[in-house]
């Protein structure tokens, strides 16, 4: 028998299982209500339109759709993304864009080109587990920055930067989800956005601005992206079609400085060569027909109803001592229980009561925040939200003393 | 302006541009005949069948096709792959398989879980450029092992292993393309296959057995895979749908030991979450309808004609002092020019004569073999093969003195 321990690299020891992906095994358990995943609602997929477009591109140019694409991306898709981003205030050229295999690759590739083992990386407390796992596998040393209701506390960030400078450390990168953060649902205020960009320029670091939920805005005004505020210099904008169209397509894009995009493209050559031409062709045509923005409008309408219902059910059912965020967009909200409750052990009881969530520790770089949990409102039906929040409240009541 | 040099990781310095991907820019130059890419013939794609199957799966289960899939792969596709592999002599369970984003991801993920910076890795001379680039970006220290007409010279491999042991080095991995190798077109003999597997067991290392061309066999008998010969223990088999179906789908699979597959799956969670469900659903249905093997039969028939024509044209046109391999499968053959000719500088002249190839240095871990070149016979038409070999011969004749 082969001795695998001898052969595995150190990356294996650094790479963690995704707590969320592992919870997927409960997804199809009969009667279970899942608040755990970050799945978009399956009812909303524009499947008829995508099917018709699939027929069109496979009829008109099958030899293009089934052949390799360029590593940077299928040019007609880049052109549509340029138009889309221009409507949201960013002016891009094709060389500013890399098409990625879902939003996750948009996180993972930059991680690889910026982070060496033991490089300090700034992350929010809490932060997106998929980004924490990518960074951990690359060898990042996490520097957690606390958040409040206005997002990442930029004064605390500057303190940490100064501390690192004083000990001669080589900081390079900050990862943030500025809009309706996963997991907290919190957005960064305009003032803090300006400060973040200022700090990045002053102290010469890169911001990975992850925007999978940016266009899922239910209340309030659109805030300018860090990418836009920085004139693209210190910021890579990470976008995904997963939440605004379909995750089964596995498509996203990164926009940023041409030099950085080129480095990402060269790395992608050896990672997976290119994204599916067929999928890129379908999405390009979908955008060209001006269907994406109206679809986002439909999604926003339905998710707002779900979010409002979940907030109402939480108010009506949660016992005293439990608090939660009130997001104005995205897919998630963040519940804080009394300090003495451990949400990971509570999850087992919740599954017995046919409801799941993701325990808070999964979103903390040191597995803290054990009294918190993330719940999702996009995937469950309205009926499931009503029933699920009631069950969850029952489970929590049993834990409170 | 941001100082990127300060922020880039050491991986950026290790990651090379793919010479082949960069040559793609010439692909659409009018009148140019490309022997450079490894593209399958666009005429052969079963686009009508794939379109019909796309309609079927998007009609019957759109909510599955457009949602996230499990990271390990869409189970109906794994089941079809198990049947396919069983027909070729390997018995697998779903836990022995990881579905990957094209064959390249099947190379890149194992590279990451086995190789630490400066770990020695055995590669063939010459070797596939995409694997060399993946390994280089991870930090491998290449140990080149020469080949002859029977493939990798296993005695030389054992010498190198003993040398590494004598200096206390930590070898772990060998990368090989045993069937119709890219770039050489050479296959490993049965005797050497047995020896390779024996060495892997004796000296406790992993073989990455890359098989994108294995089923494209034009002459001779099917040889047993290293995976089969080793009872899967020390070998990961890497497969791709790119050459046997379509590269625009971006789908492949890795088979191996359950522990290794699990490690690869955990890494894939943070790399790109999962492969496109829609694409996996289409390919699963295509295989279920028993269309893949008959399609491979059609491809083999056409490529054999192209390969034979290319060999005939080479015999008739190449000047003395030029030799080439006679592959019995795959997409490529390898041409050796007199030592004093540099194929990279010759490429510029070839492009003027409207024909391209990939210079040999791209396939050597130290950029040697500068008097060699790889030519592809799957993508050009019969007419282009006739014309292109004549042009290439003219260009070479001007270099010979």
Residues A191, A307, single domain; the answer is no
Residues B234, B135, single domain; the answer is yes
Residues B391, B355, single domain; the answer is yes
Q: Which residue from B282, B296, B256, B248 is spatially nearest to B101, judged by alpha carbons?
A: B248
Question: Residue B30 has what pLDDT?
Answer: 87
How does pLDDT run across B294-328, given as a tens digit for each residue?
Answer: 999 999 999 999 999 999 999 999 999 999 999 99
Question: Residue A2 has what pLDDT?
Answer: 72
Within a domain: B232: yes
Question: Residue A30 has what pLDDT?
Answer: 87
Within a domain: A178: yes
Confidence at B1, pLDDT banded by 50, 70, 90: low
Residue B139 and residue B173 in contact, taking contact as beta carbons nearer than 8 Å: no
Separation CA A141–CA A138 (nearest Å)? 10
Within a domain: B266: yes
Q: Which of A22, A54, A66 to substitute to test the interface with B, most B CBs within 10 Å?
A: A66
Query: Are B172 and A6 inside 8 Å of each other by CB?
Result: yes
Residues B34, B132, single domain; the answer is no
CATH of the domain at A302: 3.90.1150.10
Query: Are A266 and B16 inside 8 Å of each other by CB?
Result: yes
* List of chain B residues whose C-beta atoms are within 8 Å of the C-beta of residue A58: 47, 50-51, 54
Residues A258, A147, single domain; the answer is yes
Q: What are phi and psi of A229, to 5 degrees?
A: -60, -30
| Interstrand relation of B332-336 and A372-376 (parallel, antiparallel or unpaired) | unpaired
- Dmax (CA) for chain B in angstroms is 66
Name residue, tokens 């070479």: B396
pLDDT of B51 over the 70 cut: yes
Within a domain: A104: yes
Q: Which of B203, B248, B267 to substitute to test the interface with A, most A CBs within 10 Å?
A: B248
Confidence at B29, pLDDT banded by 50, 70, 90: confident
Residue A284 and residue A64 in contact, taking contact as beta carbons nearer than 8 Å: no
Q: Which residue from A120, A140, A106 is spatially nearest to A261, judged by alpha carbons?
A: A106
Question: Residue A398 has what pLDDT?
Answer: 95
Point out the domain boundary residue: A292, A324, A343: A292
Residue A282 and residue A50 in contact, taking contact as beta carbons nearer than 8 Å: yes
Question: Residue B268 has what pLDDT?
Answer: 97
Residues B187, B247, single domain; the answer is yes
Q: How many CB atoms lie within 10 A of CB B63?
A: 14
Residue B147 and residue B153 in contact, taking contact as beta carbons nearer than 8 Å: yes
* List of chain B residues whose C-beta atoms are within 8 Å of the C-beta of residue A101: 101, 250, 272
Question: Residue A50 has what pLDDT?
Answer: 98
Find the residue in B nearest to A263 (Cα).
B12
Q: What is the token pair recorded at A87?
A: 């409507």
Query: Are A271 and B47 inside 8 Å of each other by CB?
Result: no
* List of chain B residues whose C-beta atoms are within 8 Å of the C-beta of residue A21: 70-71, 269, 273
Which stretch of DSSP H or E encloses residue A364?
A: none
Question: Residue A1 has what pLDDT?
Answer: 65
pTM: 0.96
* List of chain B residues whose C-beta atoms are within 8 Å of the C-beta of residue A43: 63
Residues A22, A130, single domain; the answer is no
Residues A95, A241, single domain; the answer is yes
Residues B367, B354, single domain; the answer is yes
Evaluated on CA atoms B19, B24, B29, B32, the torsion sign reads: positive
Within a domain: A53: no
**Domain limits at B258?**
63-290
Point out the domain boundary residue: B252, B267, B290: B290
Question: Residue B19 has what pLDDT?
Answer: 74
How far is the CA of B105 from the CAs of A101, A159, B252, B397, in angstroms?
11, 40, 8, 40
* List of chain A residues whose C-beta atoms are within 8 Å of the C-beta of residue B243: none
Domain count, chain A: 2
Residues B278, B316, single domain; the answer is no
On the 0-12 / 13-18 / 19+ scale of CB atoms within 10 A, A189 is middle
Residues B195, B102, single domain; the answer is yes
Question: Residue A205 has what pLDDT?
Answer: 95
Q: What is the pLDDT along chain A (401 residues), one digit of tens a residue?
A: 677 777 899 888 888 787 777 777 777 788 999 999 889 999 999 999 999 999 999 999 999 999 999 999 999 999 999 999 999 989 999 999 999 999 999 999 999 999 999 999 999 999 999 999 999 999 999 999 999 999 999 999 999 999 999 999 989 999 999 999 999 999 999 999 999 999 999 999 999 999 999 999 999 999 999 999 998 779 999 999 999 999 999 999 999 999 999 999 999 999 999 999 999 999 999 999 999 999 999 999 999 999 999 999 999 999 999 999 999 999 999 999 999 999 999 999 999 999 999 999 999 999 999 999 999 999 999 999 999 999 999 999 999 98
Within a domain: B56: no
For B248, the closest of A18, A69, A104 (CB atoms) is A69
Nearest CA distance, A196 vs chain B (angstrom): 15
Q: Once rounded to an integer, what is the mean pLDDT over residues B238-255?
A: 98
Query: Are B270 and A119 inside 8 Å of each other by CB?
Result: no
Within a domain: A65: yes
Point out the domain boundary residue: A262, A292, A322: A292
Query: Are B276 and A271 inside 8 Å of each other by CB?
Result: no
Which stretch of DSSP H or E encloses residue A26?
A: none
CATH of the domain at B166: 3.40.640.10
How many residue contacts between A and B have a Cβ separation below 8 Å? 261
Residues B213, B315, single domain; the answer is no
Within a domain: A10: yes
């Amino acid at each position: 028998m082969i001795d695998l321990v001898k052969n595995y690299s150190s990356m294996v020891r650094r790479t963690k299982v995704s707590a969320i992906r592992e919870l997927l095994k409960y997804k199809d358990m009969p009667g279970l209500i899942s608040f755990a995943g970050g799945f978009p609602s399956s009812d909303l997929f524009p499947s008829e339109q995508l099917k018709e477009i699939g027929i069109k591109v496979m009829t008109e140019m099958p030899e293009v759709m089934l052949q390799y694409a360029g590593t940077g991306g299928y040019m007609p898709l880049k052109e549509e993304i340029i138009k889309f981003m221009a409507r949201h205030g960013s002016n891009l050229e094709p060389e500013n864009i890399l098409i990625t295999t879902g939003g996750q690759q948009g996180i993972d590739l930059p991680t690889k080109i910026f982070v060496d083992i033991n490089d300090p990386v700034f992350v929010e407390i809490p932060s997106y587990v998929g980004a924490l796992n990518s960074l951990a596998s690359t060898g990042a040393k996490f520097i957690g920055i606390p958040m409040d209701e206005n997002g990442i506390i930029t004064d605390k960030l500057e303190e940490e930067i100064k501390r690192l400078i004083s000990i001669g450390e080589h900081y390079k990168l900050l990862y943030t989800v500025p809009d309706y953060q996963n997991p907290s649902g919190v957005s960064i205020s305009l003032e803090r956005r300006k400060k973040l960009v200022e700090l990045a320029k002053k102290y010469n670091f890169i911001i990975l601005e992850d925007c999978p939920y940016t266009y899922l805005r239910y209340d309030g005004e659109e805030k300018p992206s860090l990418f836009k505020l920085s004139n693209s210099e210190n910021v890579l904008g990470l976008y995904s079609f997963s939440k605004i169209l379909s995750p089964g397509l596995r498509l996203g894009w990164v926009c940023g400085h041409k030099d950085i995009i080129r480095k990402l493209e060269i790395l992608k050559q050896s990672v997976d060569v290119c994204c599916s031409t067929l999928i890129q062709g379908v999405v390009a045509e979908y955008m060209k027909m001006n269907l994406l923005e109206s679809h986002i409008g439909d999604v926003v309408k339905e998710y707002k109803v779900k979010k409002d219902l979940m907030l109402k059910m939480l108010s009506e059912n949660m016992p005293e001592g439990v608090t939660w965020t009130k997001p104005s967009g995205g897919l998630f909200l963040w519940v804080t229980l009394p300090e003495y409750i451990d949400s990971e052990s509570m999850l087992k009881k919740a599954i017995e009561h046919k409801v799941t969530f993701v325990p808070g520790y999964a979103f903390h770089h040191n597995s803290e925040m054990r009294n918190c949990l993330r719940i999702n409102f996009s995937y469950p039906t309205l009926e499931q939200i009503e029933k699920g929040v009631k069950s969850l409240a029952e489970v929590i009541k049993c834990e409170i003393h």
